[in-house]
Amino acid sequence: MAYQDISELTDKISESSAWENIKSFLNQHIDFTDDITVSIFDLLIVVTAIFITTIVLRILFRILTRRLPEDDKSKFSVVFGYFRWLVFVIIFLITLNSVGVDVTAVFAASAALLIGIGLALQTFFQDIISGVFILIDQSVHVGDIIEIDGKVGRVEEIKLRTTRAVTIDNRVLIIPNHRYLTNILYNWTQNGTLTRESVDVGVAYGSDVQLVKRLLIQAASTNEDVLSEPEPTVLFTNFGDSSLNFRIVFTLNDSFKATFPKSDIRFEIDRLFRENNVSIPFPQRDIHIIEPKK
C-alpha cells in the first residue's frame, strides 16, 4: 500500500516537472530588438490566428465564387489573393499587439502609407472593386449588348479594371469598370436576345389610315430579320402639325445590328407608299406678310 502511494506521488512529481518544463520552454523569449521581444507561446498564438484566418478566407472564397464561371473565378482569385495578404498582415499586427508587442509605430506608418496609396490610386481601386462586383453579381456577361453614356457596344471581354466592347462600326470601346457604379447602364440583352424595335413615319392628312396600317405591317413582315412572333404592330401615335404619325413595332433577334433592318424597312415603306399613292408630307408653314402702313 505504501509502495503504491509512493508510486502515485512519483508520477505526480514527474507530471508536474514535465509541465514546468513545457511552461519554461513556452515562456522563452526571442529578442528581435531592444523593444520587441516575443515568447514562443506568443508565436504559437500568432500561428494559430493565421491558421484560423486561412480557413475562414477559404470558406469565404468558396461562398463568393460558387456561382461564378471558371474564367471569372480565376480573375476574382487574383483580387482575392491581394485581399487575403492584406487580411493576414492586419491579423498578424493585431495578434502581436494583443500578446503585448508594441506595434503602434507599425500601425501609424502603415496607416500613412495606405492613405497615400489610396489617394494616388483612388480611381484604380474603384475600377478593381467595380470589376469584382460585376464578376460576383453577374450583371454583365460577355456577348451582352450594353449602352452607357449614349454609346452602344457588344461586350467582348470583362477584366478586373476595364470592360472591352465593340461598337456597331467595329470600334473598340474601353469602359473603366467604375463607370458602372456612377452611370446608368442599359443591358439590352440581359432578358434575352429578342428586342422590340420601331420605325416612325408620318403621312399626309386625308390619307387612308387603314391602308397605311396594312402597308407598314407588310413592310416589316417581309423583312427577313423581323421575327413573325410576336407579329409586327402599328401604333397611331399622334396628330402632328403637318402629318398623321405612325409607328411600326417589330421584334429582332439581334438588336446590335438593328440599324440595317430598320433602314431596309424604311426603303420598303417608301416604295409601298409610292405604289399606293400615300404621301409623306414635309413641314408646311403659312407666312403672313404685313405691309407697313404708309
pLDDT tens digits, residue range 140-198? 878 888 888 878 888 888 877 788 888 887 888 888 887 877 777 888 777 767 888 89
Peptide bond into 232 cis (omega under 30): no
Q: Tell me what the mean pLDDT of segment 222-247 comes to.
A: 90
Please give the model's pTM, rounded to 2 decimal places: 0.53
Which is more confident, 208 or 194? 208
CB neighbourhood size of 210 (10 A) = 9
> Of 42, 59, 54, 34, nearest to 100 (Cα)?
42
Domains and CATH numbers, the chain: 22-120 (1.10.287), 139-187 (2.30.30.60), 195-275 (3.30.70.100)
Cα separations in angstroms, 31 against 36, 45, 252 = 6, 17, 75
Question: What average pLDDT is seen over the chain?
Answer: 76
- Say if residues 114 and 51 touch (Cβ distance below 8 Å): no
**Which residues, other chains included, contact 200 with Cβ-Cβ below 8 Å and sequence gap of 6+?**
237, 245, 246, 247
pLDDT at 79: 60
C-alpha 165/C-alpha 186 separation (Å) is 14
**Range of 62-76, 82-96, 219-233 with top mean pLDDT:** 219-233
Q: Work out the pLDDT band at 131, boundaries 50, 70, 90.
A: confident
The DSSP call for residue 270 is H
CB neighbourhood size of 70 (10 A) = 7
CB neighbourhood size of 204 (10 A) = 14
pLDDT at 30: 58
- Cell 450594353 belongs to residue: 146
Beta-strand runs (E) in 223-289: 233-239, 244-252
Q: Work out the pLDDT band at 268, boundaries 50, 70, 90.
A: very high
Structure-block grid coordinates of residue 210: 387603314
